[in-house]
Amino acid sequence: MLDDTVRNEAYRAAICDNPNIFAGKTVLDVGTGTGFLAILCAKAGASRVYAIEASDMAELATVTVHENDVADKVQVIQNKIENVELPEKVDIIVSEWMGFYLLHESMIDSVIFARDKFLKPEGVMYPYKCILHSAPSYSPEIFKFWENIAGVKMNTIGQLYRTKYTGKPEIMQIHPNNILSKPLEVFEFNTKDIQQESIRKITKNVQSECHKNGVVNGIALWFDVYFHAGDKPDIVLTTAPVMSPLQLTHWKQTVIILPFEKTVEKSEKFHYNLDISKSAKNPRHYNIELNILDPDEQSAMSTSEDKSREEFHVHHNDDSEYDEYNSGSDDNN
């Protein structure tokens, strides 16, 4: 993730451009990785930074802290946050805890634990606000590839591919032109007061209206997180669809692939229900259940094997692997 310049710049701006927030403060970095965020906090004027890392990456973080001449301010602790004891409460908790579609493979539970145990009542969370968005989308690269490979048609293989990937979240880049409605909020929460129970199960009826003619073959998910910036506007880290790959984050977008392509017209309604629930097997994983709704009846359509109809229900569980198109580096913080 160190090559994610969008992510790095957002955190740098949120921390280093706001020394009035960090100067003289005690900071807790949950999941410090290489120590990147902890070092930024020290450079922004924090008096003490507790950098927690459960993995052996803590050894590299310690080296990096010394390399940046902030060892007098940053203390790297190799342990799970749930097992850590600190000598004091902290003013600020910083963490890059977000996962795919915000919650999947995230560290939010550990951040909530740290907040409840270590943050002062008047303390600050970085980031402090999170919003998950969704919209119907079109991903031509998933299936169009099979229609003509050097003049050879492979539509049958393409259909098998479609069957394999139906209902399976894909981590990929969606071009903004292939988002077919105004993005709508699935949920929003503030990290200062969110409770684990509140994000155990999230259900949302999304009532979108297409803003252009096009084809829908997926539901795209992405998120924004917000950082305090004093009297200035909030710093926003967005994982929304972007025009340039240079603006893309390592999270990209998460797309739930539909088993059909639905031709839509401008102003046509496209409604669906999203049920995002924590896995019973892995507390860092989430399951997604998607129902395409009849805009007129506002009830879930029945499951159908007739792929030419828009009747669709999918349940994705944590046993399935996530795939990634055009995958980049997956380095630690």
**CATH number for the domain that contains residue 78:** 3.40.50.150
Range of the domain at 149: 130-324
Per-chain mean pLDDT for the chain: 88
Q: Tens digits of per-residue pLDDT, 137-154?
A: 998 877 677 777 888 988
Q: Which of 53, 59, 85, 105 is flagged as catalytic?
A: 105
Residue 308 has pLDDT above 70, yes or no: no
Is residue 129 very low, low, confident or very high in pLDDT (cuts 50, 70, 90)?
very high
184 and 92, same structural domain? no
Known active-site residue 105:
yes
Q: Considering only 76-90, 134-148, 177-191, which range has the smallest mean pLDDT?
A: 134-148
Determine the pLDDT at residue 309.
31
Q: Which amino acid is at 34?
A: T
Encoding tokens for residue 296? 């007129």
Count how many residues are written for the chain: 333
175 and 55, same structural domain? no
Residue 324 has pLDDT above 70, yes or no: no
Determine the pLDDT at residue 3.
84
320 and 214, same structural domain? yes
Last residue of a domain, one of 75, 96, 117: 96
Tell me the C-alpha to C-alpha distance, in Å, between residue 128 and each of 54, 131, 236: 23, 11, 10
Gap between the Cα atoms of 222 and 238, Å rounded: 8
136 and 92, same structural domain? no
Residue 178 resides in a domain: yes
162 and 89, same structural domain? no
Residue 125 resides in a domain: no
202 and 275, same structural domain? yes
Q: Which of 53, 96, 170, 289 is flagged as catalytic?
A: 96
Q: Tens digits of per-residue pLDDT, 215-236?
A: 999 999 999 999 999 999 999 9
Gap between the Cα atoms of 97 and 316, Å rounded: 22
76 and 135, same structural domain? no
- Mean pLDDT value of segment 127-133: 98
Q: What is the number of alpha carbons within 13 Å of residue 115 lying toward its C-beta?
A: 22
Is residue 155 very low, low, confident or very high in pLDDT (cuts 50, 70, 90)?
confident
Residue 114 has pLDDT above 50, yes or no: yes
Closest to 7 (Cα-Cα) out of 30, 40, 56, 47: 40
Determine the pLDDT at residue 236.
98
Q: How many domains does the chain divide into?
A: 2
139 and 212, same structural domain? yes
The CA-based diameter of the chain, rounded to the nearest angstrom, is: 69
Determine the pLDDT at residue 291.
92
- Mean pLDDT value of segment 19-25: 97
Residue 115 resides in a domain: no
pTM recorded for the entire structure: 0.87
Residue 17 resides in a domain: yes
165 and 78, same structural domain? no
211 and 80, same structural domain? no
56 and 203, same structural domain? no
151 and 77, same structural domain? no
135: domain CATH number? 2.70.160.11
Closest to 99 (Cα-Cα) out of 91, 88, 107: 107
Residue 331 has pLDDT above 70, yes or no: no
- Mean pLDDT value of segment 131-137: 98
Return phi, psi of residue 323, to 5°: -110, 155
Question: Does 163 or 20 have the greater pLDDT score?
Answer: 20
